[in-house]
Amino acid sequence: MKYILKFFSNTYLLSSLFIISIAVGIISLQTFIGVGFFQLNRFNVEALLFLNLILFLTLIISIFTKIYNSYLKKKVKELGGETSKNLVISFLLISSLPSLLIVIFSIIIFNYGIQNWFDNKILSLVNNSRNIALNYLNDYQKSIFKDLKLIANDLNRNKNVLLSDKNKFQNYLLFQLKFRDVKNIFLINDNGTLMRFANNQDTYKPPSKNMLIKASNGKPLIISNAIEKKTYVLIKLNNFKNLYLFSFQNVDEKINSFIKETGDASAYYYKVKQNTFKIQITFFIIYIIFTLILILMSALFGINFAAKTTKPLNNLFRAAKSVREGNYDVKLKDDKNLDFKNLNLIFNDMISQIKKQKQKNILSGRFEAWQVIARKLAHEIRNPLTPIQLSLDRIADKISTDDSSKKHLTIINNQILEISSLVNNFSDFARMPKPIFEGNNLLDIINNSIDTYKLNYEKINFITNNELKATRIFCDKHQINRVLINLYKNSVESIEEVSSEREDTGEIITKISDDKKNFIITIYDNGVGFKETGKDNEQDPYFTTKKDGSGLGLSIVSKIIHEHNGQIFYDNRLEKKGAFVTITLPKKNEKNTYS
């Protein structure tokens, strides 16, 4: 079955069927009206009708198989395929119904016209035209026949006188030629041999043997030849021995043409009349074939139109399916159609918001989990630290004279201080308050943060590139200041790590810009850079880029930026050594917009 459907849907087969069907239909019409390549007989008529019917049915099967295989069957399996299929079917119905109505209407008109063509009035008109032509020819023949019969009577009556004098005989023939106004007079024997003549001897052509036999019984013979455009008269001269009067007259060109045309028209009319039903069938098949061509063209147009129309919808279906499967990076391209373009923009914006919200929810959950852990760690570590520190102080008093022991105690004391500092950082992270959003000047916040380090690190060049169109931001001033101080601190420490190795001065560049919704702050330095970037770790609360860092500095920065509905990204610089951090903060924030 699969191979049969594939065979019938072949494009070359379909094209060949169209051409063959039209050619066979035209040949059939020509045959039925008697002007075709094939002889008009019962076998040829039945064979052509059967062939037309087979081609017609095969063409219908091929068309619908082609449409089904090439489009509908494929589209049903796709997302949005049902909509596309319904659109194509609707288009086919809309285009086919008017075509079928036109076919029916045209066939009715054709049948009505062909019936009127063969009605009694037309039949009477054809017969009358033919009869008029024949009557006109008969009158013309009678006129010629009458004159030649009178000549024959005169010759029979004056036989003795004419035979007695040859010259008188010849003059008498010339007299009859002029008096009766005939073109020629020939006297011949029963073999067609010319005995005497009046007028030009060269124009004489003997009558056929059959004509001589028919005239030998004494009855005058008159025959008209439409091809030669002549009328022949042959009369036996009874008073003469073996002698015939023979003459031919040219038929008037107009009369001959009229007779021929009416005769051909009459013969053609009756021939076509006998094949009326066959002509109707053939016309019906040919018209249906042309209609099928129009329907196929409409189907192809409908398929292309549906594909073009539903393509954006199919893309939307596929994108929605990808989102359902967890892929939030899907993005729809712009469409030429303005409506679909707007729809794609709305969809992309919606997916972007969902992705951000999902990331924020994940990050919020992580931060909350780590806050609980940090709180417990700070509590559990701080409790034993105090008695350890007190015990260490008492031991130091008792062994104040032992320098070696003092060094060991100093090392222990320093480690306790480091642990205490770490506990304080855990505590700060755990007790970080929710941001209070107020209107502030972003440029002032940035400048204040830069001034904290600018005055103390004269060897580092602090550069600010201000491209702001507006400076007002709704944020927690203290928390954003804490973020910037932490980042500048990291940059300063990164520069100091390579200060002994470098010849140029340290440099920290702050670039500030904005768009309609956000402020973008990028801090560049020419320090040691990141050994590991934050591309895949920016959602880890304790991710660090320092050799001995705990990660709590960046975790606090990430948490503050997160609760301001912003984003942070950091990476190494490409054009030179160092790193950069980019922060995006919304210009407007309402209370409880974070979660």
* Together in a domain, 223 and 104: no
What total of structural domains would you count in the chain?
4
Q: Give the pLDDT mean for 577-582.
A: 91
For 200-227, b/e burial (b = at least 16 CB within 10 A) is eeeeeeebeeebbeebeeeeebbbbeee
Tokens representing residue 342 in the block = 């707007």
Q: Which of 349, 346, 347 is nearest to 321 (CA)?
A: 347
Residue owning tokens 């924020």: 360
The yes-or-no verdict on residue 346 having pLDDT over 50 is yes
More confident site: 226 or 121: 226
Which amino acid belongs to residue 118?
F
* Together in a domain, 524 and 491: yes
* Together in a domain, 198 and 111: no
The yes-or-no verdict on residue 236 having pLDDT over 60 is yes
Q: Give the pLDDT mean for 271-282.
A: 64
Q: Which residues contact 74 (CB under 8 A, 6 or more apart)?
A: 81
Predicted local confidence at residue 539, as pLDDT: 47
* Together in a domain, 94 and 201: no
* Together in a domain, 404 and 467: no
* Together in a domain, 306 and 357: no
More confident site: 134 or 474: 474
Q: Give the pLDDT mean for 29-40.
A: 65
The yes-or-no verdict on residue 213 having pLDDT over 80 is yes
More confident site: 422 or 196: 196
The yes-or-no verdict on residue 75 having pLDDT over 70 is no
Q: Which of 473, 495, 483 is nearest to 448 (CA)?
A: 483
Q: Give the pLDDT mean for 266-285.
A: 64
Do 21 and 56 contact (CB within 8 A), yes or no?
yes
Q: What is the CATH number of the domain that holds 210?
A: 3.30.450.30
Domain that holds residue 178: 147-269
CA dist 438 → 449, 472, 594 (Å): 18, 10, 15
Which amino acid belongs to residue 588?
K
More confident site: 147 or 94: 147
230-236 and 221-225 as β-strands: parallel, antiparallel, unpaired?
A: antiparallel
Q: Give the pLDDT mean for 492-505.
A: 78
Q: Give the pLDDT mean for 429-442.
A: 82
Highest mean pLDDT among 364-368, 382-386, 412-416, 549-553: 412-416
166-179 helix and 120-157 helix, angle to the nearest 10 degrees:
150
The yes-or-no verdict on residue 244 having pLDDT over 50 is yes
Q: Give the tens place of pLDDT for each residue, 513-558.
A: 999 889 999 999 998 887 755 444 444 444 444 555 444 567 778 8
Whether 156 is in a domain gets the answer yes
Do 19 and 62 contact (CB within 8 A), yes or no?
no
Whether 124 is in a domain gets the answer no
Predicted local confidence at residue 520, as pLDDT: 95
Predicted local confidence at residue 474, as pLDDT: 93
Q: Give the tens place of pLDDT for each residue, 130-143.
A: 676 667 767 777 77
Full-model pTM: 0.44
The yes-or-no verdict on residue 509 having pLDDT over 80 is yes
The yes-or-no verdict on residue 126 having pLDDT over 50 is yes
Predicted local confidence at residue 82, as pLDDT: 67
For residue 581, list its beta bridge partners. 523, 570
* Together in a domain, 466 and 557: yes
Predicted local confidence at residue 195, as pLDDT: 87
Domain end position, chosen among 370, 401, 431:
431
Q: Which range among 77-81, 399-403, 449-453 shows the weakest confidence by mean pLDDT?
A: 77-81
Whether 125 is in a domain gets the answer no
Q: What is the CATH number of the domain that holds 512?
A: 3.30.565.10
Where does the pLDDT of residue 476 fall: very low under 50, low under 70, confident under 90, or very high at 90 and above? Answer: very high
Tokens representing residue 138 in the block = 């008969």
* Together in a domain, 241 and 373: no
The yes-or-no verdict on residue 443 having pLDDT over 70 is yes
* Together in a domain, 591 and 456: yes
Q: Give the tens place of pLDDT for each residue, 398-414.
A: 776 666 776 777 777 77
Tokens representing residue 453 in the block = 């380090």
Q: Which residues contact 536 (CB under 8 A, 6 or more apart)?
A: none
* Together in a domain, 78 and 177: no
Where does the pLDDT of residue 425 fall: very low under 50, low under 70, confident under 90, or very high at 90 and above? Answer: low
The yes-or-no verdict on residue 353 having pLDDT over 50 is yes
Where does the pLDDT of residue 467 fall: very low under 50, low under 70, confident under 90, or very high at 90 and above? Answer: very high
Where does the pLDDT of residue 583 fall: very low under 50, low under 70, confident under 90, or very high at 90 and above? Answer: very high
Predicted local confidence at residue 510, as pLDDT: 95
Q: Give the pLDDT mean for 270-287.
A: 65
The yes-or-no verdict on residue 372 having pLDDT over 60 is yes
CA dist 50 → 16, 43, 57, 504 (Å): 18, 11, 11, 99
Q: Give the pLDDT mean for 228-235.
A: 82
Domain end position, chosen among 398, 431, 464:
431
Rounded Cα distance between 463 and 450, Å, is: 10
Domain end position, chosen among 254, 286, 317:
317
Rounded Cα distance between 383 and 388, Å, is: 9
Q: Give the pLDDT mean for 448-475.
A: 91
* Together in a domain, 313 and 337: no
> In whole numbers, what is the pLDDT of the chain averaged over residues?
75
* Together in a domain, 455 and 593: yes
Q: Give the pLDDT mean for 116-142.
A: 64
Highest mean pLDDT among 60-74, 348-362, 438-452: 438-452
Residue 188's φ and ψ, nearest 5 degrees, are -135, 165
The yes-or-no verdict on residue 81 having pLDDT over 80 is no
Rounded Cα distance between 327 and 252, Å, is: 97
